[in-house]
Amino acid sequence: MTQSIMPAVRCDRNAAEVARYYVEAFRDATVVEELPGVVEIHGYRILLIDGGDEHSVNPSISGLLNFDPAAFGGEQEAVRYLDELYERLSGGGVLMPLQEYPFSRRYAWVRDDLGFTWQLMLTDPDGDPRPFLTPSFMFGGIADGWAEPATNEWLRLFDGSERGNLVRYEAGAPVAEGSVMFTDFRLKDQWFAAMDAGDFHDFTFTPGVSMMVLCRDQAEIDRYWEVLSTVPEAEACGWCVDRWGVSWQVVPHDIAVLMADEVTRDTILRMRRIDLAELQDERPEGMR
């Protein structure tokens, strides 16, 4: 699959160890050799970043795993794999225990050894098909209630986007009436999910998990940057924070190659918005 938006998860200087952990946990997972730090899980790529612990991960962005019986040869095998991952990915604790809920006959929300959280859900095979792994945004703390306006803005910004399901809380729910209980949406070539947290959680988004947008050219970089960068002090080497608090990396599609070269890497680290014209003269001969 083509993947132009890649979740980037900050690790506490142990990205290689975390990559091995995921490769061992999932039945279909591998380290992408030509892209250092990238793990491909059932065809979906996640970037693991070596960094400090100043921006730890939290459940505001999680990985929603869809166990569709139609994709696993029947419900029995889907449940078997779900239960298997429940054991392997819950080393950091359980946020919601494995059991039946109104929205799924088998569901759990767990925290792995890294601190990243996963939602494991047995899905209805008669529902709309979705990928196995979908990044999920939970708008909590100061961002509570922003799930719909934020996703509306992203849908307007990215080409080829569409809204899937949108389910709201009704009157009498423990979350404000009209808030988003669940929505899924496609940005460019991939699916995401979002929800409002209500008063249940007081944390919000951090740079511990960001979204890396791989851009074709300067025009695309500029287009996304103009909308997604709303906090000037957060701008650095292609990183920015939008008005909803979500961190983004707006970078060229060959960022891995550029960062592997000492000269172009040093230039990028001095930039705020990435300037491809400035980088052009410093690219290695074979990259121009």
For residue range 236-272, list pLDDT tens digits in order. Answer: 999 999 999 999 999 999 998 899 899 999 999 999 9
* 286 pLDDT above the threshold of 60: no
* 196 pLDDT above the threshold of 60: yes
Residues of the chain with CATH 3.10.180.10: 213-279
Q: What is the pLDDT of residue 202?
A: 75
pLDDT digits (tens, 9 = 90+) for 105-131: 999 999 999 899 999 999 988 888 899
pLDDT confidence of 12, banded at 50, 70, 90?
A: confident
For the domain made up of 1-53, the CATH class stated in words is alpha beta
What CATH number should be reported for the domain whose range is 213-279?
Answer: 3.10.180.10
Q: What distance in Å separates the CA atoms of residue 59 and residue 185, rounded to the nearest whole number?
A: 19
Per residue in 88-114, is it b (16+ CB within 10 Å) or e — as a string?
A: bbbeeeebeebeeeeebebbbbbbbeb
Residues of the chain with CATH 3.30.720: 1-53
* 135 pLDDT above the threshold of 80: yes
Q: What distance in Å separates the CA atoms of residue 247 and residue 288, rounded to the nearest whole number?
A: 30
Query: What is the Rg, in whole angstroms, of the alpha carbon atoms belonging to the chain?
Result: 19
Across 99-109, average pLDDT? 95
Across 221-244, average pLDDT? 97
pTM for the complete prediction? 0.93
